[in-house]
Amino acid sequence: MVLTVQDVKKSFPGAEGEVPVLRGVSLTLERGETLALTGESGSGKSTLLHLIGGLDRVDGGSITVAGREITDMSDTDRAALRRTDVGVIFQQFNLIPSLTVEANIAFQARLAGTYDVAHAKRLSAALGLTDHLLKYPEALSGGQQQRVAIARTLTARPKLVLADEPTGNLDEATAAEVLGQMLALVRETGAGLLMVTHSQSVARRMERHVHLSQGHVV
């Protein structure tokens, strides 16, 4: 099991006190499995993703990633976990504009100490980026930039990939193509994939689907 979320609770300050967003969420994910997380706006999808990625702390419950309980980890250990075991793909591509495509793809893996030139080249070829490696992000289309973001994440060989609406900024045809490439590569690398999406068509392409409503998985 690459991910175990057990009875996780999270609240945020509001005008009239604490506002509960997650009220006891539990889910699991195995290596090589894909899971869609849907829910209405404000249901806590992105909050849960941030908690799993160690970008925020739970108020209650526990989260175990790749066999490690992260609930009480220090910020330093959480950052190290994101470098080695957890890859995050956001709707915004978050590429480094001063680096070439090739350097952007290598960036995360170099931080993790897992950079493999041959592996990076295979991923670049699979995502149609071979002819763009010496370009800078500004020269690429949105779809190409998202492919770079996917390659950057998978080059580091994470055990768990967290994706927050990764094709939300792309047109329908490009989104479908990029999603297909990402799912194929995730299966090939054996990583578990948890994807937040508002799209039922995207959710149907995943192996499992859970829905967040009023702070609970339904």
* Residue 42: per-residue pLDDT: 86
Residue-wise pLDDT for 60-118, tens only, equals 999 999 999 999 999 999 999 998 999 999 888 899 999 999 999 999 999 999 999 99
* Residue 160: per-residue pLDDT: 96
Domains of the chain by start residue, with CATH: 33-51+74-217 (3.40.50.300)
Q: Residue for token digits 């492919």?
A: 147
Residue-wise pLDDT for 11-38, tens only, equals 999 988 999 999 999 999 999 999 999 9
